[in-house]
Structure 1
């Protein structure tokens, strides 16, 4: 195999912003934000809008999450109030 062509693979914590669910996994993505995990170590924090905790395919039910007031902006834009 060629040396020095693969990205660094490290542990990071993913945070589902719609449910607050967190999980530790490996990733090549980095972040300036960090979080202390259950094992006492500090890991980079990556925020995602959908994970297995909030996706309807995995949960079997639809969860409506208004991320950042998008529904209100849409209603205001099209006068649907």
Structure 2
């Protein structure tokens, strides 16, 4: 090992947030920790809420605006898609109504022609019988 480049290895006092302290060796003389073997849920078997310095809140502060903006864009896109679908449905309905109206008009014309045609045929038959009787 080179001399003079390594930090000094000293006795260190470690303090936990639960109040437990112990001594060990480190390059620092004092340390504080959030959890230790006396208060960690894995070792104690008790449920404990651990929030390490508001990490979730810091993340929300840093990226919360971007996440809200993405959510807003997604909602706007969904609303636009729904409006487009409603517009297409209305257009299809209007086309179907126009088609039904056209079909009804053709049916009415056909009925009119059918009603006129027997009259013309019966008139032609009457003429034919009159001609036969005149002969």
Higher strand share: 1
Q: Normalising by structure 1, report the TM-score.
A: 0.49
Larger Rg: 2
Higher relative contact order, structure no. (Cα contacts within 8 Å, ≥ 6 residues apart): 1
